[in-house]
Structure 1
Amino acid sequence: MKRVVITGLGAITPIGKNTKEYWSNLLNGVSGANKITRFDASKFKTQFACEIKDYDPLDYFDRKESRKLDRFSQYGLISTEEAINDAELDFSKLDANRIGVIFSSGIGGFETFEKEVIDFTKNSFQPRFNPFFIPKIISNGLSGQISINYGLRGVNYCPVTACASSTQSLIQAFNYIRLNKADIIITGGSEAPITESSIGGFNAMKAMSTNNENYSSASRPFDKNRDGFVVGEGAGTLILESLDSAMKRGAKIYAEVIGGGESSDAYHITGTHPEGLGAYLAMEIGIREANVLPEKIDYINAHATSTGLGDLSEIKAIEKLFKSNLDKIQVSASKSMTGHLLGGTGAIEAISTSLSVSTNLIPPTINTTQVDKDIPKELNLSLNEKTSKNINYALSNSFGFGGHCAALILKKYVG
């Protein structure tokens, strides 16, 4: 089996339009929530979200190109260019047949779909759709566009498992490389779900926070008064590479990927299993595959969306699996700052987890003032301020509608 390492990072998020800004604001506990500016949200129960601030596609694309790309594809291409530059990849010196793209989106071109259907119904006398309608909305369009842009002919596909999507992309990229089916894979996820139909749909499910008066602190994982998630947008890209390839190039290495667990709750189409059975199994498979004992895990980047059932089911799974060292593990919830990027969330959290491993810094969980009474008191939730801790092994969780569960295991790189 090949060893697999992370050699490049790229991010565009509600708290930073590149990796450096994102990481700095994570460590400083900056909330990305704001009143929705994209449309008039006054008619909705939820009137806020974690938008990317001051985003103009013309800062990144020419006008013609930007019109061909849905917002989720724009975000993914932006984060990918940063990651490629960060990894200092020169494709002219590499075998394009051995470089792949596994890149996710949970929903795809939501904004394009909504706009085109509304425009169609308004023009009933001459109904027509934009010729780019289908290419803009398909979730796999982004992975295809990345490979086209850089001439990469290796494996190319788009896992779609709701909010577990990009973590599963990372796990699949890890598997392809360690089985020697690829040398390098560009992987991650992107989402642009801040639209009227998305907000309305999640409101109908009663899944999102409606704390409009205190929106900046509405995402409060583990808090007894949490009332739902806050939707976010953005993308994260990671360059996964065989250690052999990275060493040959003299690449810097952020962390080593050593395991990935995937499972199903097999319980409910939107709700997590109350006892966290799927979450437990994904984490257990991941650390077993990594050949690591549970007590070796130093840090868990929790999925923790700030929903009543979801947060507790994940904690129950953590409590069961890590009972022997529960008081020694550090847990944090970055969605308290970024909101929930749905299919993009696993990627940006894998980025922050790899940075935690390489810097020994853990971002805080913000907004949580009264910890839920059902959460074990000995569990350190990294409340309110960043933590310095030697991190040799870390785990990042993602769970999606449909019962999809995924856990990625990272290790501090030692040559």
Structure 2
Amino acid sequence: MQKPISITAIASISPLGKSLDEAWENYQNDTHCITEKSFQNGTALAAEITNEAKQEIENLRTSDHKYKSLDDTVLYAIYASRQAVKQAKWNGSDNFGINIGSSRGATQLFETYHEDFLKSNKAKTLSSPTTTLGNISSWVAHDLQTEGPEISHSITCSTALHAMLNGVAWINSGMCNKFLVGGSEAPLTPFTIAQMKALKIYADNSQNYPCRALDLNKKHNSMVLGEGASMICLEGGKKENALAIVKGIGYATEILEHNISISSDAKCFQKSMKMALGDINPDDIDVVIMHAPGTIKGDISEYKAIEKIFCNKIPSLTTNKWKIGHTFGASGALNIEFALLMLKHQKFIGVPYLESQNSPKKIKNILVNAVGFGGNAVSIFLSK
């Protein structure tokens, strides 16, 4: 890190609600947001945004005739971006940068357009522009009326934290002094669910907590998909209105041995966490928010990486995927929100089904992890 970066605002729309207050209220109970959802060929577990949030998205969709053809991924991003920028008191004339990503992109629209194509052998007029990944940041920029740099990308499940890396890099370069970063995902579609089930990593409905993220003794994979978006406002230096300071960033990529796997002790996470910590004593980290997708290998490998880095004193460990599912490209930004809420309220939110959890005496330094298919790991070091 060349200089500290302030997080001056964050906003989201997710199964936890459509505001920080709603999210924190929902974190206070041990109830998960996972339900049985109907799809074309039956049902599957999923974590949907709330009914109130769905109504907000429909209101947004009908507020502008151009928005009627947009995928939920884009609308979620627009909604959360409006709230974040409002909190930060940014104006479109600031020409701040935008970097928003998604693992899957416009999944629902793509499936709908492809189904129409198979029936008619013709593509709908807007099928290309509305399913292009780059339309997320460009539509957000249009909605916020800003003319700064805009970037969209997909780096699977670490997409949102890679957006943070880019925002930090742009600010440190002096090319931009403000950046809006985050991730958006609307993957609750028949084909996406079928893909995850084909990998044999999806949960069934046999337990009170279907997603057993961070349960290192589980015998079955238990990943569940969720949806939502989270947007983060970054500014250079230490600002008076900072929710937290980004004190370190780390990243690493593993050499692929399998299409979806990482090494048994997650060497990518070892490297990303070590880089993010820099010169700080690992003992000073109070909490690690793990990626922990609820798969057997994924959870254990990340835990082993943490053991390697924090050999003297394992920090308090937690995850939110047991509650809201895995939101793919948005998950890293929702983890940042989780961290900021714990920093603000000075209360540790653990995992209810774990027999014993180590709660921190204080919450000042938090490390947030995310990793995507192929070992694209990112770690962000936040401090109050």
- Indicate the larger mover: 156-165 or 312-321: 156-165
2:165 aligned to which of 167, 171, 187: 171
2:339 aligned to which of 339, 349, 353: 353
The question of whether the paired residues in 1 share the 8 Å contact of 2:264 and 2:301 is answered with yes
Equivalent residue number for residue 323 of structure 2: 337
How far is 1:185 from its partner?
Answer: 0.4
3-state SS of paired residue (2:255):
coil
Percent pairwise identity: 25
Q: Which amino acid aligns with 2:20?
A: T
Over the aligned positions, Cα root-mean-square deviation in angstroms equals 1.9
Equivalent residue number for residue 373 of structure 1: none
Question: Per the alignment, do residues 27 and 140 of structure 1 end up closer, same or farther by CA in structure 2, a change over 3 Å counting?
Answer: farther
Question: Per the alignment, do residues 65 and 21 of structure 1 end up closer, same or farther by CA in structure 2, a change over 3 Å counting?
Answer: farther
Q: Which amino acid aligns with 1:269?
A: N
After superposition, residues 7-406 of structure 1 pair within 5 angstroms as 7-37=8-38, 39-42=39-42, 47-54=44-51, 55-56=54-55, 57-62=57-62, 64-92=65-93, 94=94, 96=95, 99-124=96-121, 127-129=122-124, 131-209=125-203, 211-214=204-207, 217-223=209-215, 224-225=217-218, 226-243=220-237, 246-247=239-240, 252-267=241-256, 268-288=258-278, 291-326=279-314, 329-368=315-354, 381=357, 389-406=361-378
How far is 1:41 from its partner?
Answer: 4.8
The question of whether the paired residues in 2 share the 8 Å contact of 1:269 and 1:403 is answered with no
The question of whether the paired residues in 1 share the 8 Å contact of 2:317 and 2:350 is answered with no
Structure 1 Cα separation of the partners of residues 40 and 357 of structure 2: 36
Question: Per the alignment, do residues 138 and 266 of structure 1 end up closer, same or farther by CA in structure 2, a change over 3 Å counting?
Answer: same
Structure 1 Cα separation of the partners of residues 357 and 223 of structure 2: 18
The question of whether the paired residues in 2 share the 8 Å contact of 1:219 and 1:306 is answered with yes
Q: Which amino acid aligns with 1:282?
A: S
Q: TM-score scaled by structure 1?
A: 0.86
Structure 1 Cα separation of the partners of residues 47 and 151 of structure 2: 28
The question of whether the paired residues in 2 share the 8 Å contact of 1:3 and 1:178 is answered with no
Question: Per the alignment, do residues 234 and 179 of structure 1 end up closer, same or farther by CA in structure 2, a change over 3 Å counting?
Answer: same
Structure 1 Cα separation of the partners of residues 354 and 360 of structure 2: 20
Give unpaired runs (5+ residues) of structure 1.
370-379
Structure 2 Cα separation of the partners of residues 319 and 356 of structure 1: 23
Q: Which amino acid aligns with 2:126?
A: F
Question: Per the alignment, do residues 154 and 204 of structure 1 end up closer, same or farther by CA in structure 2, a change over 3 Å counting?
Answer: same
Structure 1 Cα separation of the partners of residues 344 and 134 of structure 2: 31
The question of whether the paired residues in 1 share the 8 Å contact of 2:101 and 2:154 is answered with yes
How far is 1:361 from its partner?
Answer: 1.7
Structure 2 Cα separation of the partners of residues 309 and 241 of structure 1: 37
- Indicate the larger mover: 167-176 or 392-401: 167-176
3-state SS of paired residue (1:212):
coil
Question: Per the alignment, do residues 365 and 104 of structure 1 end up closer, same or farther by CA in structure 2, a change over 3 Å counting?
Answer: same
The question of whether the paired residues in 2 share the 8 Å contact of 1:194 and 1:232 is answered with yes
Q: Which amino acid aligns with 1:264?
A: T
3-state SS of paired residue (2:226):
coil
Q: Which amino acid aligns with 2:46?
A: A
How many residue pairs were aligned?
376
Question: Per the alignment, do residues 230 and 4 of structure 1 end up closer, same or farther by CA in structure 2, a change over 3 Å counting?
Answer: same
Runs (4+) of structure 1 exceeding 4 A deviation are none
Q: Which amino acid aligns with 1:286?
A: A
How far is 1:26 from its partner?
Answer: 1.9
How far is 1:149 from its partner?
Answer: 2.0
